[in-house]
Amino acid sequence: MSRTPLISGNWKMYLNHFEAIQTVQKLHYVTPTEVFDRVEVSVHPPFTDLRSVQTVIESEEFEFALGAQHCHFEDAGAFTGEVSPAFLEKLNVRYVIVGHSERRELFGETDDMVHRKVGAIMKYEMTPIVCVGETLVERESGDTEAKVLGQVTAALTDRSSDQIAKIVIAYEPIWAIGTGVNATAADAQAVCASIRGRVAELADADTAAAIRIQYGGSVKPGNAEELMGQADIDGALVGGASLHPEDFARIVELAAATR
Ligand code: PGA
């Protein structure tokens, strides 16, 4: 089975467009080109940086895919402050993060909105990275699977197997995001295997074998190799460490080395 790992850098609300340009240039400089035979790498700057980063990536022929952190599910309308997936497609955005726990918790993004966004993103032939994950309270009460698989089902329901196979799911335990405490490789692997099992139920075995599942939550150079070496983990969604090109490049290299 050959799933190309995807390592995504979620820059969150950090780096203005000048800093973003410098960061992507430095990232290129410190990333060995041979890794791109084995892994894909996306960078997800804030909206105001997208055009600048796109221009650098395309004019310098960097092998990074451009990503966004969020979008609306409608093409256009009276939605002050929102960004249409149609606009992202015009910037050659390839990956769009959907339902990040910060969006769900701080900005009221619901499972229904996530479902609609997944459809809107795919309509423009971009790839959604659907984030799912449990809180610490849910984990301690044994509700991890119920929460995570419920979110997966809500995002993927009523879609064809062909569509589902193209989606990326990011398993991000909320208690691990930005805390420095990552899930153990065994725990992360177990949840990612359950997600794959749910995809087999919602679609079929071939689709489950094809879909990519990232782990996210305090991924850093010190834990990337073990996490990325797990059978059902196909890459990482990296926040804090992706702001530091040397650290992010090291994570990319370690992920490539597991393939
Ligand atoms: P972190 O963030 O790597 O800083 O924990 C992950 C994320 O928010 O996607």
List, in order, residues 6 or more apart from 241 with CB less than 8 Å away: 219, 220, 221, 247, 248, 251
* Nearest residue to 27 (alpha-carbon basis) of 78, 76, 66, 77: 66
Pair 250, 224: CB distance under 8 Å = yes
From the CA of 8, give the closest atom in ligand 1.
Answer: 9
- Is ligand 1 within 6 A of the CB of residue 217? yes
Establish if 140 belongs to a structural domain.
yes
Establish if 208 belongs to a structural domain.
yes
List, in order, residues 6 or more apart from 22 with CB less than 8 Å away: none
pLDDT computed for residue 1 by the predictor: 54
Domains identified in the chain, total number: 1
Residue nearest to ligand 1 atom 8, measured at CA: 239
Active site residue 100: yes
State both tokens at 249.
């490049």
CA of 243 to the centre of ligand 1 (A): 11
Q: Where residue 38 sits, what CATH number does that domain have? A: 3.20.20.70
State both tokens at 113.
């909105």
pLDDT computed for residue 2 by the predictor: 81
Active site residue 172: yes
CA dihedral sign of residues 237, 240, 245, 247: negative
State which residues form the domain around 52: 6-257
Which residues of the chain fall below pLDDT 50? Answer: none
| pLDDT tens per residue across span 56-87 | 999 999 999 999 999 999 999 999 999 999 99
User: What number of other Cβ atoms are within 10 A of residue 112's Cβ?
Assistant: 10
DSSP three-state, residue 58: helix
Residue nearest to ligand 1 atom 7, measured at CA: 239
CA of 85 to the centre of ligand 1 (A): 23
Establish if 211 belongs to a structural domain.
yes
CA of 117 to the centre of ligand 1 (A): 21
For β-strands 40-44 and 235-238, DSSP reports them as: unpaired
CA of 11 to the centre of ligand 1 (A): 9
Establish if 88 belongs to a structural domain.
yes
From the CA of 177, give the closest atom in ligand 1.
Answer: 5
Establish if 1 belongs to a structural domain.
no
Establish if 24 belongs to a structural domain.
yes
Residue nearest to ligand 1 atom 1, measured at CA: 239
